[in-house]
Structures are given as structure tokens and as C-alpha cells.
Structure 1
Amino acid sequence: MTGPVLQVRDFCVDYGQVRALDGAALDVDAGRIVTVIGPNGAGKSTLLNAIMGVLPSRGSVRFLDRDEQGGIEARVRRGMSLVPEKRELFASMTVEDNLVLGAWVRPDLRRGGADATRDEVFRLFPRLHERRGQLAGTLSGGERQMLAIGRALMARPRLLMLDEPSLGLAPLVVREIFHIIAGLRDSGVGILLVEQNARAALQVADHGYVLETGRITLQGPAAQLATDPRVAATYLGLGSAG
């Protein structure tokens, strides 16, 4: 499939009297990486959680050419996966068991496709294969992030949403994780990447959005945003705002 996997329009989320997202709009195409960058508290995680159905929202979420109004499980069955910021692994279960649980929401995969998908994940993340019998709680931070992404891929998503995948990781591990994310393009999955590490995000993404205090303030090709003086000054630590 080519073309848009996800289209979000006039998207609003409120926390009581506080408007956390105000009229956000974005597109994610198949086989493309779209990043949303911005400061802490801008609404980036809120955006992902609302698209996933975790938070109530107003506006339009169109997924695979259909308006999406179902709950979380329905969205996962249709092909949405979210890797949350806290990863939320089952620490007392093995790496392999965590992966198997990722396919559980898809009855078609439970009936026989899970093993093949697990083997694909192990090819993508050889370190997880090496540690498949190890408890998830004993993994390093980078390995836990790999497992969280691998578990999401077990549901064979058409849209993969990643919330701060670099959080708490050493620079060398961040490069490895982003290299893996870039490689997922070849699978045709659309990727929506929320990141505070703007430099790494813009290097890997095809298109980018800047989210500030709940509003999209800039958007464009990632390479173009990376050279925009406002983005460089505010998020890349280069030059002055001018």
C-alpha cells in the first residue's frame, strides 16, 4: 500500500479546562517516517495516546481510509501499534513471552502466524534472540527498547507509533535504535515518531512537525526543518533565533 495510512484533522484533547491539543493535523504515509518534535509539555505524548484511543479526543482520525472510532483493542486489530514512553514490558516474563503477548490481540496471528512473526523480529533484533529466555526486567535500557518495539511489531502493524524511543539511552544506543527504526521503512509500515531528541528524529524522518503548546507551528520535509533557523536555534542548539 502507498499513500496515507493515517490522516488526523482538527484534533483536540482537553484535560479538564486545559486544552492540551488544539486543532492538530498531520499525515503519515506507508513506508514513511514522520516525526513530531517539540519541548516537554507540548502535547506530543498526548497526541499519540489520543490517536491510539487511550485518551478522549475531538476531531478526525482516519486510518486506512476509514474514520477510526473504535477502542484501543479494535485499533490494534486494525493495525495500529503504540510503543509507550515507559515501554511497559512484563518484567517477570521472558523476552520471548513478551513478544508472544504482542500477537495475542490478533486472533489470526494466534492461529499460527505468531511464530513466523517472532522469527522476523529476532532477525531484526539479533540481541533479543540471544536473550530470548532472559527475564525482561534484567535487560539493559537499549534492549528493553528493542523488546518494546519488537513486541509492537508482533501485531504486524500498518502504523507504528513510537513515544520517545531515545529516552534514557546512551548516545551509542540511540544511534542503534534509530538505525533500526530507519530500516523499518522497507517493511512498508508508516511510522509516527514523537521525540525530544530533535536532531536524531529529523535525521531519520522523511517529514516533520513542530508541536508547541498544543499547536502545530511548523511542518515540512525533515531535511528542510533541520535547516530552518527557528528549529536550529530552539531544538538543535545552533545559532540564534534571529
Structure 2
Amino acid sequence: MAAKLLEVQGLRVAYDKIEAVTGVDLAVGQGQIVTVIGPNGAGKTTLLSAIMGVLPSSGRIVFDGKPREHAEIEEMVAAGMNLVPEKRELFSEMTVEDNLMLGAFDRYRRGLRDHDGTLAEVYELFPRLRERRGQLSGTLSGGERQMLAVGRALMAKPKLLMLDEPSLGLAPRIVREVFHIVARLRDMGVSILLIEQNARAALQVADYAYVLETGAVTLEGPAAQVAQDPRVVEVYLGLGHGAAAQAPA
């Protein structure tokens, strides 16, 4: 396995007295795509939020060689971690380019003035955003909004990009495009932790996979191996997933 960029040990998250994440161990290697699949309500979003510092948790989080448990969101962003939430959380009354520039705010605040070069890289990755750079983000299609959310996160030049359900609500053709971009980001050296209900697409693009059910990891291994597990095939890759589950070509 590649050198570990993120290592999570015994992570627990509770809402009042109910544990939503129960002792999860997880790792992401340098330059890897690691996916976490599982049903609705399994604790996938809670897991990402806890790693990012959005939710309080117990356990051990080591990122880029340093313990980070109890770290604030700003500290994690400065360390090189970024999260694209399921709801995307764009500023709909701002232009595409202004939304992107907000992603570089933390680096700018720390005296780094490389945002113009990073913006050019994002526009190369997402030509459609360049075409719509003066358009209000609230007028974009669902696929374009997802591209903008990812592009904004990339403006922070993250070492680890965490994606929460990037294919949610998108047409199959756009899903394929999004996953092609995810694979390209790995080729560019960005490590990715991918939360997905579209198990077929996630397992095809990932290097390593975890199955999360009722807050606990029930299966893990190389993604190709997990995709062959009879239970995963039956529960997550069965015919019931239909056309929307088609993976990138």
C-alpha cells in the first residue's frame, strides 16, 4: 500500500446517546482513491464530517503524519484536506468565478498568491466552468454545480479531497463524466476519499474500498476484490440499481 496520507483508528461519533459511527478504522494512501459504500443511514456522511472536524468525535485521526483529532475545520483545510459536501453549498447569487476564488481564500489569507495559476488549472479540468465563469452559480445545471463544487475545493490545492455522494441526482452520462474527472484527479496526485451510493461506479474507479453498515465497517479490501464479494454483488451491484448505477466507460 502507498504511504498513508490519512489514518483513522477507532473513530466514534454519537448523537446524544446514539452512536452513528462505531469504532471505524480507515486509511487513504498517497495518490489513492478510497471509497466507502453503504446504504442510506449507514453513517457515511457522518464519517466524513468527523474526519473534517465538522462533528466532534473520539478516536485517532492522523493526517499527513500529524495527529489531528479535535482539529478545527480551518486547521484541516490549512493542512491540505478539503470536503465537497453532498449539498455542494455554493453561493447561488455569486458568479462561477467568484465561487471558485472563495476556495482559494485560506491560501490567500496565509500569504500565498498562486490563485491565478490554480484557477487556470481548474478551468483546464472543467472547460464548461470557463465558459460559464460570469454566470450566477444558481443558474447552473446539476452536473455543472457538482463540477463547480469540486473546482472550488481544488482551489485550496488539497492533498486529500473528500467527496460526499458526487453522483447524487445526476444523469448517467454526467455521472460517467464526474467519475472520469475523479480518476484524472488521482493521476494529478490528489488523494481521494469517496463516499458513494453508486457502488458500481465507485468500485470501478477506486483502488481500495470499505463497506459501511450501521456505523461499522463490515468489509474492506482492494476495490476489485470487494466488487467480487457475493454479498456486495447481491446487495449493492444487483439489478435493482438500474441504469443509474452504470459505471464510467
TM-score (norm 1): 0.96
| Residue 145 of structure 1 pairs with residue 146 of structure 2 | yes
Contact persistence 1:103–1:109 (CA under 8 A): no
Shift of 1:109: 7.0
Q: Which residue of 2 aligns with 1:36?
A: 36
> 1:123 is matched by which residue type in structure 2?
E
Say whether the 8 Å CA contact 2:107–2:113 is kept in structure 1: no
* Inter-partner Cα distance in structure 2 for 1:172 and 1:109: 39
> For 1:100 and 1:32, how far apart are their aligned partners in 2?
27
**Quick one: structure 1 residues 110 and 170, their matched pair in 2 at CA, closer, same or farther if it must change by over 3 Å?**
farther
Structure 2: gaps (5+ residues) = 241-249
Q: Distance in 2 between matches of 1:159 and 1:184?
A: 10
- Residue in 2 that maps onto 1:98: 99
**Map of 1:151-166 to 2, 5 A cutoff?**
151-166=152-167
Give the direction of change, closer, same or farther, for the CA distance of 1:172–1:147 in structure 2 (3 Å limit): same
Distance 2:55 2:191 in 1: 21
Residue pair 1:48, 1:161 contacting (<8 A) in 2 also: yes
Residues 194-233 of structure 1: matches in 2 within 5 Å?
194-233=195-234
Percent of paired sites with the same residue: 66
Query: Are the structure 2 counterparts of residues 125 and 109 from structure 1 closer, same or farther at C-alpha, using a change threshold of 3 Å?
Result: farther
Residue ranges of structure 1 left out of the alignment (5+ in a row)? none
1:181 aligned partner: 182
Amino acid at match of 1:97: D
Contact preservation (8 Å) 1:121, 1:153: yes
Query: What amino acid maps onto 1:136 in structure 2?
Result: S
Distance 1:108 1:35 in 2: 32
* Alignment TM-score, normalising by the size of structure 2: 0.93
Whole-angstrom CA distance in 1 between matches of 2:12 and 2:204? 28
The count of aligned residue pairs is 238
Matches within 5 A, 1:1-242: 3-68=3-68, 69-107=70-108, 111-237=112-238
